[in-house]
Chain A
Amino acid sequence: MNGRWRTAAALLLSVGLAAPAGAVGLAAGGYGAYHIPIVQDDAGSGALYGAKAKVGLGSIFVLEPSITWITVGEKDHTEEDLDLEFSTKGGSIQTIGLNVNLGGFPIEPGASLYATGGIGSYTLKPDASYKDDETRVGYNGGLGLAIKPTPLFDIDVSGRFIVIPLDGGGSRKSVGIFAGLNFYFGV
C-alpha cells in the first residue's frame, strides 16, 4: 500500500470513527474520471482519481470528506504567424476537501439527485523545476446523482466546478467529472 492510499484510508477511517451522533449512515468509496481546465491557456485536461466518505445526517444533509489527485495535462500551442509550436507542461493537483451535499445518500435502493458545495486544500504541483508547489484554499460546487441498485453500494456521478484563488489575485478554474462506487456501512 503506497503513501497516498494509506493517507486516504486513514482519512476515511477517521471520518467513520468521528461520525456525528446524529448520523444515519456511512458510506465510503473511490472514484475516477476527468478534469477539464477552463480559461487556462497553460493547462490541459487530464485524469483524476480519489477516495471519499459520505456521512448521512438526517434525510438531506451529507458530509463528504475526500482526497483527490488530479493530473494537469500538457497544452499545445500554435502561433501560425510565427510558424511556432510549443507545449506548456502542466503538472498535478492534490486536494483534501470537505463538501456538504444536499441529497445523494439514498437509504433504500433507488436514485438521489444531489447538490454539493465544498472547501478544500489544493496543492498545485507544476511540472517546472523553477516553480515551487503552492497550497491554496479552493472551492467547488456542482450537481450529482447517486444510483443505489442494492442496499450495499451506490454508483455516484457528479460534475463539479472548481475555483482555486491564487496568491496575488486571479484563480485557476476547472470542471471535474467524477464517477465512482460507494459502499454503505450500517444502513
Chain B
Amino acid sequence: MRNRRALLVFPLVALFAAGCLISGQLILVQVFGDGEASADKTVHRIFVDLKDNEDYDEHKDKLKSLEYFGFFVTVTNEGPNEAKGEMYLSLVDLGVSPSIATIKAQATPIVENANLGTGETRTITFEESQDYITNLKEIEKAVLEGVFYLYGITDIGTAVEYENFIVVASINVAL
C-alpha cells in the first residue's frame, strides 16, 4: 500500500517543486490605427497604450516577460526611391515630428531593414515582421510598462504613409 501511494505522490512532488504551475503564455492583439505623421511624412508617431487591451488590463499585475513581439501595418512609400523601413521605441514622447537625428539619439531601434519599394503599398504581416524585430529586451521593458511611443522612419528619410498598425505580443503570465 505504501508503495502504491509513493507511486502516485512521487511525480506530483517533482512538479510542485517547480512552484510555477499556474502560468502560461498569453497572446495580445491591439489595434493602434494610423498614428500621426509629420508634415513631410518622413516621421510617423504611434502612441501605444496596451492598457486599452482588456487581456493586458486583466493580467497587468501578473505579466512577467515578453516572449514574442510583432505587428501588422500597411505602408506606402511615397518617396522617389526604394527605402528601408525602420522603427524606434521611446518610453517618453519625443513629439509628433522630432528630427530623425533626435529619434536615433534618444530612442531604441526595434525594427530594421523592412524593404519599401518605390511607390509601393503593401501590408507587412506579423510573420514578416518577425524578420525585422531587434532589441527584444528593450521592447519587453516597454510592453511591461504598458505605454510607449513608436517612431517610423526610413533609412533615407523618405515620405511614408502608415495605416492600421496592430501590435501582437506573446507575454508570460504567472500568479
Which residues of A come within 8 Å of B, CB atoms? 38-43, 60, 77, 79, 82, 84, 86-89, 100, 102-103, 113-119, 126, 128-131, 138-143, 160-161, 163, 165-173
Contact = CB atoms under 8 A, between A and B. Distances in A.
A170 B24 CA distance: 7
A129 B64 CA distance: 21
A169 B172 contact: yes
A86 B10 contact: no
A41 B25 contact: yes
B25 A172 contact: yes
Given A42-B67, A117-B13, A130-B136, A171 B20 contact: yes
Contacts of A102: 3, 6-7, 10
Nearest to B169: A42
A129 B126 CA distance: 14
Contacts of A170: 20, 23-25, 64-65, 172-174
Interface string B1-42: 001001110111111011111011111010100000000000
Interface residues of B, number: 43
Contacts of A173: 21, 23-24
Contacts of A103: 7
Kindly name the residue among A89, A143, A166 whose own CB sees the greatest number of chain B CB atoms within 10 A. Answer: A166
Interface stretch (B45-53, B127-135, B153-161): B127-135
Instruction: Please list the 9 inter-chain residue pairs (A to B) with the smallest Cβ-Cβ separation, ordered nearest first.
Output: A141-B11, A39-B24, A117-B14, A170-B172, A169-B64, A170-B174, A86-B126, A42-B170, A41-B27
A29 to B, nearest CB: 21
A166 B72 CA distance: 28
A86 B164 CA distance: 16
Contacts of A40: 24-25
Contacts of A130: 130, 133-136
A123 to B, nearest CB: 16
A88 B72 contact: no
B125 interface: yes
B25 A167 contact: no
Contact of B174 (A77, A143, A169): A169
A129 B132 CA distance: 9
Given A42-B68, A170-B65, A82 B25 contact: no
A126 B173 CA distance: 18
Contacts of B173: 170
A84 B166 contact: yes
29 contacts: A39-B24, A40-B24, A40-B25, A41-B26, A84-B72, A86-B126, A86-B168, A87-B127, A114-B7, A115-B8, A117-B13, A117-B14, A128-B68, A130-B136, A131-B136, A139-B17, A139-B18, A140-B15, A161-B11, A161-B15, A167-B65, A169-B23, A169-B65, A169-B172, A170-B20, A170-B24, A170-B25, A171-B174, A173-B21
A153 B134 CA distance: 50
Nearest to A116: B11
Nearest to A42: B170
